[in-house]
């Protein structure tokens, strides 16, 4: 099996020194990449993080959502299992300044535009791939995850709370398109990654 896994945040620049982003550390995605190596070749597409690159994987560093979309779509056709663990920014500044914006002249509001919905596009293009998404919420976690699972044509979704960001552990609920649902206890992210793969891989198309 060939794996395509995303990890970390994206950064959407306002100017060369400022950007919009989120608190994702990349730890969950990197743990998944390390666990998947035992099952086949792994391509890891990662936003900016301060983690060492796992040995034995094809590593593709990106910064923005647009760069992540391009890298993921380039590798999608050859993948058997795709796990989208990255925390991709939903919006980016509509106008990016070529030079650092001065405080005295900087606008007090930002005009934003949507970034590419990578997961939805993968769901539209899916043929033989097993497609796994992640849902992170601060409320109505499982209901929101189930809605995302259906709307984006996923095979599985992993629901986790916002406290997982930058933490060493994770507490997840794994929900399948066939109605399967399993809540796992709090685990180190490496153990959570192994548990996720154990449940996803037997369902390969």
Mapping DSSP to helix (H, G, I), strand (E, B) and coil, where does residue 73 land?
helix
Choice among 22, 153, 160, 170 that is catalytic = 22
**Alpha-carbon 2 to chain mean position:** 17
Closest CA to 117 of 103, 128, 133: 133
Cβ contact 56:42 at 8 Å: yes
Distance from the Cα of residue 16 to its chain's centroid: 24
Cα separation, 80 vs 69, whole angstroms: 18
Of 85, 69, 73, residue with least CA distance to 34: 85
List the Cα angle 167/137/71 in 5-degree steps.
75
What stretches of the chain adopt beta strand conformation (E)?
3-7, 12-13, 19-20, 42-46, 58-61, 81-84, 91-93, 112-114, 130-137, 156-161, 169-170, 172-176, 181-183, 187-188
Residue 22 known to be catalytic: yes
Active site residues: 22
């Amino acid at each position: 099996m060939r794996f395509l896994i995303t990890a970390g945040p994206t950064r959407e620049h306002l100017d060369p020194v400022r950007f919009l982003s989120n608190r994702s550390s990349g730890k969950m995605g990197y743990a998944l990449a390390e666990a998947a190596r035992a099952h086949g070749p792994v391509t890891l597409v990662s936003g900016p993080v301060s983690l060492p690159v796992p040995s034995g994987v094809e590593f593709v560093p990106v910064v923005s959502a647009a760069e992540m979309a391009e890298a993921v779509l380039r590798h999608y056709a050859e993948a058997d299992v795709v796990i989208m663990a990255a925390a991709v920014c939903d919006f980016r500044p509509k106008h990016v300044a070529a030079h650092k914006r001065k405080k005295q002249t900087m606008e007090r509001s930002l005009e934003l535009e949507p970034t590419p919905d990578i997961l939805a596009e993968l769901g539209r293009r899916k043929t033989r791939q097993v497609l796994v998404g992640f849902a992170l919420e601060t409320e109505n976690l499982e209901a929101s995850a189930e809605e995302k699972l259906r709307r984006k044509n996923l095979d599985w979704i992993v629901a986790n709370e916002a406290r997982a960001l930058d933490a060493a552990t994770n507490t997840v609920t794994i929900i399948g398109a066939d109605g399967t649902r399993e809540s796992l206890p709090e685990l180190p992210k490496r153990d959570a990654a192994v548990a996720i793969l154990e449940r996803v891989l037997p369902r390969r198309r």
